[in-house]
Amino acid sequence: MKKAVFPGSFDPITLGHVDIIERGVTLFDELIIAIGVNADKKYMFSLEERKRFIEETFKHEPKIKVMTYSGLTVNFCKEQNAQFILRGLRNPADFEFEKAIAHTNRKLSEIETVFLLTSSGKSYISSSIVRDVIRNNGDFTGLVPNAVTI
């Protein structure tokens, strides 16, 4: 069974994330969307809200599980018997950052990281941009799945 973990804070989940998940789920028997918990980070949405947004968005996809974790992603992958980490790339800066993490993860655990390029029409969307739009009372609905509400 090919199992992958798609880790992130998903604060909130965006249409860019959805794009990677919808294409990634076709590659694996199971895809765990893993919401990382970082006590030092201030989130706009609570962990429960972020989890609910994702569960609602993918409620009809049986190959997707939504879980939370803290600590190293590679340790979570081991606990879940996942052989792959799925990551999305929007631009060259993402690639450089993600490449270093992938090499480190491979050194720590021999886990493979699979990269998918975000579709061109969604490559500009990031959670930080969405949060900025929300903070400034802008219309964020075209950037996130319908499940994301404030």
Neighbours of 70 (CB within 10 A): 11
Per the residue annotation, which of 17, 50, 51, 87 is the catalytic one? 17
Catalytic status, residue 107: no
Catalytic status, residue 90: yes
Catalytic status, residue 41: yes
Q: What DSSP state is assigned to residue 64?
A: E
Q: What DSSP state is assigned to residue 91?
A: S
CA-to-CA distance for 52 and 15, rounded, in angstroms?
16
Q: Which two tokens stand for residue 99?
A: 């490449």
Per the residue annotation, which of 2, 50, 90, 106 is the catalytic one? 90
Q: How many helices (H) and strands (E) does the chain have?
A: 5, 5
Beta bridge partners of 115: 87
Q: Which two tokens stand for residue 18?
A: 């959805």
- Let me know: does 125 contact 91? Beta carbons within 8 Å: no
Q: Which two tokens stand for residue 17?
A: 């994330």
Per the residue annotation, which of 41, 42, 60, 120 is the catalytic one? 41
Q: Tell me which residue has tokens 């996809």.
A: 61
Please give the positions annotated as active site.
17, 41, 90, 127
